[in-house]
Amino acid sequence: MDAAAGLRRLWAMLALLAAAAALAASRRAAAAAAPEVYTNTWAVRITGGAGEADRVARKHGFVNHGNVAQQPVQLKAAV
């Protein structure tokens, strides 16, 4: 490989590295600008009826608030 080809290859690698660094920086900036959202309510589908829904909710530290539609059951954190 001659010197010119090696130099072109080095510049190409540096350009890729700079592009990767710029992409990482923009992703960090976007993540910092976007607020994190947490929720303590869930809608789940549990077969086995209300008793089974109560058991599963208690097992995982939630409270069963009953059906929110025909099938799903809404669970809320017991805080």
| Chain Cα centroid distance, residue 52 | 28
* Burial degree of 44 (CB within 10 A; 0-12, 13-18, 19+): middle
Residue 52 shares a structural domain with residue 75? yes
Beta strand ranges found along the chain (DSSP E): 41-44, 62-67, 73-77
Domain span at 28: 1-36
> With 80 as the cut, is the pLDDT of residue 78 above it?
no
Residue 27 shares a structural domain with residue 58? no
Residue 25 shares a structural domain with residue 42? no
Over residues 6-64, the pLDDT tens digits come to: 888 989 999 999 999 988 888 887 777 777 777 777 788 888 888 999 999 999 888 89
| Between 71 and 70, the higher pLDDT residue | 70
Q: Are 49 and 56 in contact (CB under 8 A)?
A: no
Residue 42 shares a structural domain with residue 31? no
Give the separation between CA 44 and CA 76, rounded to whole angstroms.
Answer: 11
What does the block give as tokens for 51? Answer: 């008793």
Q: What is the pTM of this model?
A: 0.42
SS3 40: coil
